[in-house]
Amino acid sequence: MRSPLSSAAHTVALVALVAGSLAVASCSSSSKPTTPPSATYPEPDRAAAATKLLTGPDWYRHAVVYEVNVRSFQDSNGDGLGDLKGLTSRLDDLKSLGVDALWLMPIMPTPFKDSGYDIADYQAINPDYGTLADFDALLVEAHKRSMRVMIDLVLNHTSDQHAWFKDSRSSKTNPHADWYVWSDTPSDPNVGCGTFSAQFGASAWELAKERNQYYFHRFYKQQPDLNYRSPAVVKATLDATRFWLDRGVDGFRCDVIGLLFESATACDMIPETKDYIRQLRAVLDSYPDRAMVAESTNYSSAADYFGDGKDMFHMAFNFAYGYFWGIPFSGTLSSTLEQPFLDSQSKNPLGAQDALVIGSHDVARAYDSAQSIESRWRRAAFVQMTMPGTPYVYYGEELALRPGSTAVVDNRDYARTPMVWTKAAPGYGFTTGTPWIPFGDVPEQTSVEGEKADASSNYAFYKQLLAVRRGRAAFGTGALKVLAVDDPSIVLFTRSSADETYVIAMSMDETDPHTGTAAGAALPGDPQLLFGDATLVRSGADAKITVAAAGMAIFRVK
């Protein structure tokens, strides 16, 4: 729900981007090699390979996940709000793009004081989006297409309109009296935490006149924190997860999960929180082929969220890349780009899987983070799709959807504008009515309809890249080896599975081509170019790479 770039830190990062920005250069996105490949390898049935990789408990390691803001995706009834029936009607479009799983932003009832992250009922559907029957139908249709569905699970807090909180605030003796964190004063020596950021107020304590006590909230005052030291809260929240698992959801994205328990000295991932996560994992493990991903509140490393690699989260977002990729891309040094992935290798336990983003509902659109430079967001996506981890594509990213300028809740709404399906104003295929929030800039230039018809579009770039990735185990679970190149502007690494090896090359320089040598690369075979605009030549144990300005390429060498 929260990100470091949604307030002051966002400004700092943008300043760094502007200070280091370079001149824009064109970036070829064609998957066709410019010269005949020097090697050709036997090609297995990739569709069959993809089906195998995406079946069973490890499906999430090979999937491409698509984050959907249901409110902004597709309106089916003309009220200006996206809904579940609208999303269901677009499943074929997403399947065609190469999407394997959906992550839905909160779909539960809410007063919408925090865009749905203030939940008023854990076991129902927001009437704006439809009914439980509509959700069940979405699951059926998605599963027919071999697509998984994950939903947002917000466990740290509820809405102040939740029945639990209404009861809790009514007196000190009601059945839910201890389900939230209460104090006689606007502080507590056992809770050494304030609000998560200045955005949510100067004090984390709010007076409830009904019981003449203060309740604790890390976020908006309408979002009281649950008291996980109450066994009844632990049981109720785990029961809520079972409710959705019983309906058939394939997993959860867990919002600010590290903040469940507080202590006098710590506020994030304390031992009690880790114990709860292990209980949550045990619930998921009692259902076949389910997975969950953590929103880490540690932006340098998510290692704490994995436990021993098998007893906590399946995935956690690597925000060191996902939130800050714009900074290395404003310079020309490959090492600054590679470091977050090397850190994951060294810090995460065996079995951990990074979740990789370049945008989300909490941060600026990739278009903004790239300072509107097309080659940057394309290369950022290229890294996202080829480095170790599960890629999560934020809706509209494949179109380079532009941000808006209207805020309904807060300025994160700039990145939550409606999807653009057609070139036809005023509704652009999203609605026949008035959209709940205005479209982002230049919608006529960023429609699915228009970009599908353009072989050089961002949509075509994404579709080609996802097709190359699909059915190749090396990208989902393969080993990573960063190759040292004598030109610091060239990113060069390999991804290897048991029977295949790929070389990924990219230039950090947006103005000039670069040639470098990776001494001792010891590639297992000659290169076959699968995607992009670079040249790779093997010379004994060395490899010579030439990359166009802002160029990128994928080679198979085994």
Which listed residue (114, 152, 188, 255) is catalytic? 255
Measured CA distances, 153 to 103, 237, 245, 553 (Å): 11, 10, 12, 37
Residues 6+ apart with CB under 8 A from 512: 549
Q: Is residue 415 part of a domain?
A: yes
* Count of domains forming the chain: 1
Burial track 60-92 (b if 16+ CB lie within 10 A, e otherwise): bbbbbbbbbbbbbbbbbeeebbbbbbbbbebbe
Looking up residue 93, the CATH number of its domain turns out to be 3.20.20.80
Domain-located, residue 290: yes
Burial of 526 (0-12, 13-18, 19+ CB in 10 A): middle
Give, in order, the Cα–Cα distances in Å from 137 to each of 74, 242, 252, 419.
16, 19, 18, 22
Active-site residue identified among 250, 295, 397, 510: 295
DSSP state of 419: P
Determine the structural domain holding residue 387 and report its residue range.
4-27+60-155+238-469
The tokens for 266 are: 């710590």
Quick one: which of 332, 399, 324, 331 has its CA closest to 367?
A: 399
Say if residues 66 and 99 touch (Cβ distance below 8 Å): yes
Q: Which two tokens stand for residue 306?
A: 């994995």
What string of pLDDT tens digits covers the 558 residues of the chain? 554 444 333 333 333 333 333 233 333 333 333 444 568 999 999 999 999 999 999 999 999 999 999 999 999 999 999 999 999 999 999 999 999 999 999 999 999 999 999 999 999 999 999 999 999 999 999 999 999 999 999 999 999 999 999 999 999 999 999 999 999 999 999 999 999 988 899 999 999 999 999 999 999 999 999 999 999 999 999 999 999 999 999 999 999 999 999 999 999 999 999 999 999 999 999 999 999 999 999 999 999 999 999 999 999 999 999 999 999 999 999 999 999 999 999 999 999 999 999 999 999 999 999 999 999 999 999 999 999 999 999 999 999 999 999 999 999 999 999 999 999 999 999 999 999 999 999 999 999 999 999 999 999 999 999 999 999 999 999 999 999 999 999 999 999 999 999 999 999 999 999 999 999 999 999 999 999 999 999 999 999 999 999 999 999 999
Q: Rounded to whole angstroms, how far apart are CA atoms 45 and 105? A: 35
Task: Please tell me the distance from the alpha carbon of residue 438 to that of residue 446, in angstroms, as a whole number.
Answer: 15
255 is an active site residue: yes
Q: Is 228 a member of any domain?
A: no
- Residue 245 placed within a domain: yes
Q: Is residue 360 part of a domain?
A: yes
Q: Is residue 538 part of a domain?
A: no
Q: Which amino acid would we find at residue 255?
A: D
CA distance linking residue 191 with residue 200, whole number of Å: 17
Active-site annotation holds for 362: no
Burial status of residue 498 (CB atoms within 10 A of its CB: 0-12, 13-18, 19 or more): exposed
Report yes or no on 151 lying in a domain.
Answer: yes
Residue 267 lies in a domain: yes
